[in-house]
Amino acid sequence: MDALTQSLMDSFNALLESVWFELTFLVVVALFAGFLFARFGQPKVIGYILIGVVIGPSLLGIIGPSGDPGDGVTSGVSPLPETIMMLAELGALVLLFMVGLECDLRKIYTRMSVSIAIGGVIVPWAGGFGVAYLAGFEIEAVFIGATLVATSVAVTASVMSEMGLVGKHISNAIVGAAVVDDILGMVVLSVAKGMGTGGGFDALGLMLLVIGAVVFVVGGAWIGTRFLVRLVFNVQIRGFKRKLPLSGFTLALAIAFLYAFVSELIGISAIVGAFVAGTIFAGSALRDGIKKGTQYLEALFVPLFFVSLGVVVDLGAMWNTIILGVSLTAVAIVTKVVGCGLPAWLSGMSKWDSLAVGVGMAPRLEVALIIAYYGLSTQLIGVDLYSVVVFMGLVTAMVSAPLLKIVLTRGGHKLEGI
């Protein structure tokens, strides 16, 4: 009987280690979480993240290694197999591509968006650096400050999409500022890299990064709307004649992946490239068809992305630094509300809309983890600080969504979906 039990356990463990089983399991639990949280009128993104925490190494240990508290972090950003992580990252690209399809570039990249983003960089960085420095960290404080800079465009965009606000003025202000904020976050990371490795402040490298980012966003949008949209339209027409009705959609996705590649090549996040690619098709006659095709990809890969972020969480490693984690989380929210809300108010927004901008800019996840992981992989920060950043990102993502709903409702906005 013992031998039979052991054999069954070995078979079950082998099953859990299969990539295809893990992928099946993650998709099913994400679907369950989506139904559950939609039933209670809450953003599905929170359910995806929380279910990832539950099934990950921190609690049930169904997905990822179990044992020492730090296993999931020290072995990489996520205990998930590399194949699943690549599919999860695809989810972030698909989400931002879809958001871009709903956004008019002229309404996104405005003076207001830039001013909100600048305020959302300076104030949070100073706040994060101050908290870490007071906690006894010095060089590490530079990295902690950098993790508070970049807004999670994926979380913010997902919540705005669920609320049916994508394309409206308040959404344009938040998403536009978040994208600019993400670019500035990569600039801050370059500064943190130089200071953390002893290389000092690389003025030339910083200038090249800024120029490259601006040229990519402006030039990529111009080339796309001027040439690529026409190319996709012609391919779609020829595809119909040859009974290949999805030709235009396929090429549009290929362009999104190309933009993501160029974006990372420059040194900014790949999701910025996917967003820019989406915006070039926003005014195209093929927009609705491209959007419809992308929605099927969104239903599969976007939940996978958010669940994977929950699996990253390592509650055991966080426990020893819980006070710092709570303090940093509070500072992260307050500094974004102030740093982004004040410029929005000074730009002419109402009190509630300005507050909504600040709250909408508060989530930090994917870019914060990228910055923190760089520090961890180069041994500039330890597992304890890495876990603090993960905790901060998770809590800001979960808290910001319901707060944003409340603020928008008080501001008179009619919300859909939740």
The reported pLDDT for the residue numbered 376 is 73
Q: State residue 169's pLDDT score.
A: 77
Tell me the mean pLDDT in the region 49-73: 66
Write out pLDDT tens, residues 225-240. 889 999 999 998 998 8
Local confidence band at 266 (pLDDT 50, 70, 90 cut-offs): confident
Q: How many helices (H) and strands (E) does the chain have?
A: 20, 0
Say which CATH topology domain 43-64+79-410 has. Na+/H+ antiporter like fold (1.20.1530)
With H, G, I as helix, E, B as strand and everything else as coil, classify residue 414: coil
| Helical (H) or strand (E) element with 166 | none
Q: What percent of the chain has pLDDT over 90?
A: 15
Average pLDDT of span 361-387: 76
Domain coordinates of the chain in residue numbers?
43-64+79-410
More confident residue, 157 or 190: 157
Contacts of 176 (CB under 8 A, 6+ apart): 103, 107, 108, 109, 110, 112, 113
**394, two tokens:** 């998770």
Residue 371 near residue 147 (C-beta atoms within 8 A): yes
Residue 166 has pLDDT above 90, yes or no: no
Residue 314 near residue 375, CB atoms below 8 Å: no
Mean pLDDT of all residues in the chain?
80
The per-residue DSSP string of 308-343 comes to: HHHHH--HHHHHTTHHHHHHHHHHHHHHHHHHHHHH
- Higher-confidence position of 125 and 309: 125
**Mean pLDDT lowest among 45-54, 193-202, 263-272, 345-354:** 193-202
> What is the rounded average pLDDT of the residues 30-47?
82
Instruction: Please tell me which of 71-85, 202-216, 251-265 the model is most confident about, judged by mean pLDDT.
Output: 251-265
Flag whether pLDDT at 219 surpasses 50: yes
Q: What is the pLDDT of residue 242?
A: 87
Q: Among 124, 160, 150, which residue's Cα sits nearest to residue 365?
A: 150
Percent of the chain with pLDDT over 70: 81
Residues 79-105: tens digit of each pLDDT? 566 777 788 888 888 888 887 887 766
pLDDT at site 197: 55
